[in-house]
Amino acid sequence: MSDTCSCDTPKESRPLIDLWQARDQVIALATPVTGTECVRSHHARGRVLATSLHARMDVPNVDNSAMDGYALRLADLKDHVGLPVLLRVPAGSMPEPLPFGGCARIFTGAPIPHGADVVVPQEHVRLDDKGQIYFPKDLRQGQHIRRRGEELREGALLLDAGERLDGIRLALLAAQGLTDVPCRPRLRVAIISTGTELVNPGQALSPGQIYNSNAEMLHALAQDQHVELVDLGNIEDTRQDLENALRYASRQADLIVCSGGVSVGEEDHVRPCLEQLGGISLSGVAMKPGKPFTLGYIGESQASGTPLLGLPGNPTAALVSWHLLGLPLLQRLQGRNLAPLARFPVHAGFTFRANPARHQLLRVYLDHSDVAPVARIAGAQGSNMLKCAAHADGYLVVPPGLQVVPGQRLDYLPLSQFAR
């Protein structure tokens, strides 16, 4: 992990790419996987829908009751003060027509008997000792009746291609009786950590060594996206070892994620390897942390080769780079429809001077003790420090060179959106 020095160094002559322009470019350079797999719905959580799906039937498929109560014909109340109960309609039954001069005891979801045109909740009626039901006077036709097709008509769009299947979407498909879902193939992601100094957790540390936290983090972040992992472990800081690993990864995976070795030091080999085996599409982003972020490929071109995400070696720099730049690339490769970043303004609860040339992503938590939420610093902001990220709710985006003062409104990006 040879770029473990600050993301501010080394100094480079090439201009940095604006963060938001870099994000747009990364997304535009992604070529989604093709193909379709038929997946049983109870195995489809987290998968990406390959084709749009349409309703096979009306929802609801019959007029039904929205309440436990009584179904009646409004016209019968003109001639009767109270009505006897002549039918009982539980959910799942097919009732007879409602006789004139009476009402039906009905339950939520039960079909409306022919002739009834209103449902009255049971708590709004009065029952006398002779079994007669007395109703309020201000009834309207259609009250508490769910009409056939009011949610969906047969042929209406259910889900668009590119949507990620979650519990709600799978329930929507189940309500149509669907058991098999056309999905994009699962993305195969190879994860490589570079650095002679890296040791896996559980092993003894020698002087100068550190535990590899990036691999654990990136495995978990990738698994949040329901990909297949190809773990290539730690690669020592030699160009030949890295070249061999990248050649192998390009044959095994749809995306390579490499942490460390993306700066321009003598022991940073990712960029020279990319230039040898493929190319660099984007490198150096005006963000802090995360400046060394690099997007390249192994093969003939970004479109036809295997894309490679080069993340900084510092753990929080790798995390921020993943959230803002790596994740949208992965999701686009999956064939997902990307939603805009969720952001909203909040008040800063601190004083801070931003980097003069880069957007700064401060790890903050929201304090809700006042009328409006206030963003407070979650801890020390070093790019090598994970504790602040672990205690943060989101990122506060500080434009280059801004002097932040308490009460100033700045964009806040909730961390929760990056796990979806």
367 found inside a domain: yes
pLDDT(267) > 90: no
User: Do the domain assignments include residue 2?
Assistant: no
- Amino acid 201: pLDDT: 85
In the listed set 146, 173, 199, which residue is the last one of a domain according to the structure? 146
- For residue 210, name the pLDDT band (cuts at 50, 70, 90): confident
Interatomic CA distance for residues 258 and 380, integer angstroms: 25
List, for residues 10-45, the tens digit of each pLDDT value. 444 579 999 999 999 999 999 999 999 999 999 999
User: Beta strands 294-298 and 278-283: pairing type?
Assistant: antiparallel
CB 2 within 8 A of CB 194: yes
| Any domain includes 338 | no
What value does the mean pLDDT take over residues 152-177? 97
Residue 178 lies in a domain: yes
Confidence band of 197 (pLDDT split at 50, 70, 90): confident
- Tens of pLDDT, residues 381-411: 999 999 999 999 999 999 999 999 999 999 9
| Residue 7 belongs to some domain of the structure | no
Q: In terms of domains, do 212 and 324 share one?
A: yes
As a whole-number percent, the residues of the chain with pLDDT over 90 amount to 83
Q: What is the CATH number of the domain that holds 138?
A: 2.170.190.11
Task: Taking the CA atoms of 238, 240, 243 and 247 in sequence, report the sign of the dihedral they define.
Answer: negative
Q: Are residues 42 and 99 in the same domain?
A: no
Q: How confident is the model at residue 370 (pLDDT cuts 50, 70, 90)?
A: confident
Q: What is the pLDDT of residues 335-346, one digit of tens each?
A: 999 999 999 999
Domain count, the chain: 4
> Which residues constitute the domain of residue 42?
37-58+151-183
Q: What is the CATH number of the domain that holds 43?
A: 3.90.105.10
pLDDT score for 78: 84
Please write down the HEC assignment for all residues of the chain.
CCCCCCCCCCCCCCCCEEHHHHHHHHHHHCCCCCCCEEEEHHHCCCCEECCCEECCCCECCCCEECCCEEEECHHHHHCCCEEEEEEEECCCCCCCCCCCCCEEEECCCCECCCCCCEEEEHHHCEECCCCEEECCCCCCCCCCEECCCCCECCCCEEECCCCECCHHHHHHHHCCCCCEEEECCCCEEEEEEECCCEECCCCCCCCCCEECHHHHHHHHHHHCCCCEEEEEEEECCCHHHHHHHHHHHHHHCCEEEEECCCCCCCCCCHHHHHHHHEEEEEECEEEECCCCCEEEEECCCCCCCEEEEEECCCHHHHHHHHHHHHHHHHHHHCCCCCCCCCCEEEEECCCEECCCCCEEEEEEEEECCCCCCEEEECCCCCCCCCHHHHCCCEEEEECCCCEECCCCEEEEEEHHHHHC
Quick one: average pLDDT of 143-155?
97
Confidence at 4, pLDDT banded by 50, 70, 90: very low
Shared domain for 54 and 28, answered yes or no, is: no
Q: Are residues 173 and 190 in the same domain?
A: no
Q: Are residues 195 and 306 in the same domain?
A: yes
pLDDT in tens, 273-301: 999 999 999 999 999 999 999 999 999 99
Residue 10 lies inside a defined structural domain of this protein: no
Same domain, 137 and 263: no
- Specify the pLDDT at position 416: 96
Residue 2 has pLDDT above 50, yes or no: no
pLDDT of residue 265: 58
| Residue 272 domain-assigned (yes or no) | yes
Q: Which of 57-66, 196-205, 220-229 has the lowest mean pLDDT?
A: 196-205
Domain shared by 178 and 206, yes or no: no
Q: Determine, yes or no, domain membership for 9.
A: no
Written as six digits, the tokens of 241 are 């070892």
